[in-house]
Copies of this chain bind each other. A is one copy, B any other.
């Protein structure tokens, strides 16, 4: 996370314009698909017929039947539930396989460590070398194969689900890198988690499965559907990681979505349940379990799980976890920023990318070396073992005499002959806290949920043990003695701390599903809510923190009841100096606008005077228009026309035409030459031509990739049409009978003339309904609309007139506090929209008048000369 700082800062992302795109989105896709299916069906049918004729002697009927079945199956493949079942199955198997490999890795380490118990130094070497090698391999492998696989993946998924396309984040390479990198990283025994990466892996799975399924037809190309499936995949990721379907769905919603479509709810539940089911069935099949049960099953008593008077202790756990969670996020960010800031360190680490992971691993594993410091912090337990012991049913510090408790199995690790169990717990919490914060900055695929969960459980256990020591006979006064269950406190602590770090409430549900007991529901809920309240008021969530560190294009949340946001309006944050083009502009204006601005889309207004917003045009479209106008094809046409005129003139002058034969001959030769030249790549001629003479500035030329280079490019149907249907290109092959014999100077002159022509927007793809806001829209509402529709920018209009533009950037600034409420001029209350006292509505009225008057002046000449305008429009 820190080592590849430069990469992250230079993160390539591409903003998709979801709203603008919807003009041709689903409908077109669906129809394409329908057509393809129909074609496919046709082909298959004809193939059937072929087979029928060709192969009559053999069991033709049987074949036809098979083909029909196949066809039926293929048509069924398009259904959502088949996709979800496949996804669930796949992810359950991946999860199980990863767990299996991790278990083997950890066993191998233990075996090595155990086998060398004669020599402490050799033991240390084995204990330390093993994780260092694994982590270094993981970091190196990920770095080489797909650097996008580094880290948790939840921040990226959050960004992707908002509609932003992150390049290379959903490829097969990333999948391989993430799975293998994660297995090695977790196999090393470092305090890392598998949950975040599993969200990413599930999304990768869904994306790849979509691609694979689209081979069989169906609507797998549909983008809305893909987003829906990615949301379901996130749920599957959490679900199959913890065998927690409900918690998985809720956690993934909380962590990745801003607005959740309830109609997609069932997808997540269906896939996550199936996945969790298969994941646990695999464990039964592998004889690890007798039947399907929870992953970290607890056995707390059911009759009297806790006393009402214990609730303050649970509340304390919640509040302390809130502070702890905020501290964890802060510490994590601090480490990343520290390493980035120290330029000397940074440069050195950049060169030796694998050094940082190795060093961190060395430090952490040295400290956990069981015969060394590790003996005071249960260092020899793996994460899973720690959690199992922490959630244990029994009280460790029974009656205050720590030695008495019945150490069996792994719980023995918590016992130290000299040191109290409380000290062990405190050391464990403190050491694991900074270790986890440090370890999650290693550039390997890893999450922070599980380490935080374990720390929380340890903290809860500490409080629980203290309570048990304080009230040996329980708090309940009348009747039966119900001793305090420290395991219950551990459950509460785990949920609270992980909830605080991730800013989620659903960790409560995950905890119930993980432990298989819901008896502590109220303490858990209270602690989680308190922890969230504290943590959210102090720090962003871990994922939002990473989003900020990585500078991903994401819109921050508004936070808990920030009412001042209601007071900021769009007019306070919008950019008034909008780049626009008018309907009657000439190519020179287009050229200038393209040179000065860097916006991806430009507003199209009717005229400078009226400023009526008609639509928006993508930059690439305008560049294509410009290159069409100045391109070689047009120039050749111009030359040909000139030649024709010349010829006509000549034939007029010398009507008898004595040299006619020779001229035609020479023309024929020229024709041959030029067809050869142009047929080399007839449709590619337009954009491949360097635009240097006209477009001297680098800002346009530097982005040749933005200009679509071939009609088979994926960049859009409209663009294909732009080049395929262009009459110039068609005509090129037929009657090109001129040679490009213009000098550079002539070309420059010709281009100057061309630039003065009016732009013809006929072949240009215009988004006819870009999103519009009004000046008075509050920041709160704007935020809602941007999040809801995944907008990138919105135009601010007033009765049709364009007056400003708001993009994500402005919005982010406004939310993050660059624009404070104090900076906003306070308008008089009740200054309603059309109150004549305010200036802006006066303006509006004036503008309305202008429009009106303009219209009058327009209609007058129209009535007088209707023929003229009719003539023009034809």
Contacts and interface: CB of A to CB of B under 8 A. Distances in A.
B766 A799 contact: yes
Interface string A52-79: 0000000000000000000000000011
Contacts of A302: 297, 299, 516-517
Q: Which of A780, A844, A846, A850 has the most CB of B within 10 A?
A: A780
A673 to B, nearest CB: 32
Contact of A846 (B30, B835, B873): B873
Contacts of A294: 518-519
Interface in A774-832: 774, 776-778, 780-781, 784-785, 788-789, 797-800, 826-832
B262 A257 contact: yes
A615 B799 contact: yes
Interface string A742-776: 00000000000000000001111110110011101
Contacts of A854: 858, 862, 869
Contact of A614 (B257, B281, B800, B832): B800
B800 A612 contact: yes
Interface in A364-408: none
Interface string A833-874: 111110000001110111111111111111001001100110
A402 B250 CA distance: 43
Contacts of A785: 789
B836 A725 contact: yes
A768 B725 CA distance: 38
A48 to B, nearest CB: 23
Contacts of A308: 281, 284, 291-292
Contacts of A641: none
Contacts of A714: none
A830 B717 contact: yes
B614 A30 contact: no
Interface string A510-528: 0011001111011001100
A49 interface: no
Nearest to A268: B505
B27 A566 contact: yes
Q: Which of A29, A291, A607 has the most CB of B within 10 A?
A: A291
Contacts of A774: 22-23, 768-769
B305 A293 contact: yes
Contacts of A763: 834, 836
A638 interface: no
Interface stretch (A553-561, A644-652, A696-704): A553-561
A763 B841 CA distance: 10
Number of chain copies forming the complex: 2
Interface in A691-735: 717-718, 720-722, 725
Interface in A525-572: 525-526, 529, 532-533, 557-558, 560-561, 563, 566-567, 569
Contacts of A277: 522, 525-526
Interface stretch (A31-39, A168-176, A348-356, A682-690): A31-39
Given A516-B519, A609-B862, A270 B529 contact: yes
Nearest to A803: B768
Contacts of A26: 566, 778, 780-781
B519 A293 contact: yes
A639 interface: no
A411 interface: no
A557 B525 contact: no
A512 B260 CA distance: 24
Contacts of A720: 832
Contacts of A800: 606, 612-615, 768, 800
A222 to B, nearest CB: 7
B525 A521 contact: no
A245 interface: yes
A269 interface: yes
A224 interface: yes
A857 B852 contact: no
A246 B525 contact: yes
A-side interface size class: 35 or more
Contacts of A513: 518, 521
Contact of A516 (B518, B560, B858): B518
A767 B341 CA distance: 51
B777 A22 contact: yes
A28 interface: yes
A25 interface: yes
Nearest to A827: B31
A258 interface: yes
B35 A855 contact: no
Contacts of A288: none
A851 B872 CA distance: 11
A290 interface: yes
Nearest to A821: B34
Contact of A718 (B533, B834, B850, B857): B834
Contacts of A861: 857-858, 860-861
A578 interface: no
Q: Which of A773, A832, A860 has the most CB of B within 10 A?
A: A832
A17 B829 CA distance: 23
A849 to B, nearest CB: 5
Contacts of A614: 612, 799-800, 851
Nearest to A770: B772
A777 B19 CA distance: 11
Contact of A305 (B291, B722, B772, B873): B291
Nearest to A518: B518
B557 A24 contact: no
Nearest to A727: B836
A678 interface: no
A273 interface: yes
A509 interface: yes
Contacts of A609: 859, 862
Nearest to A570: B27
Given A291-B306, A850-B873, A35 B569 contact: no
A533 B82 CA distance: 13
A7 interface: no
14 contacts: A23-B774, A32-B830, A81-B533, A257-B262, A258-B261, A258-B263, A266-B560, A273-B522, A606-B800, A725-B837, A762-B845, A762-B849, A768-B844, A858-B858
Given A29-B566, A258-B263, A857-B862, 16 more contacts: A26-B778, A30-B567, A30-B778, A246-B509, A257-B262, A261-B784, A263-B557, A290-B304, A292-B306, A294-B519, A615-B800, A717-B830, A762-B848, A768-B774, A768-B844, A857-B872
8 closest A-B pairs (Cβ-Cβ)?
A35-B829, A30-B566, A717-B832, A26-B778, A614-B800, A853-B872, A769-B772, A273-B525
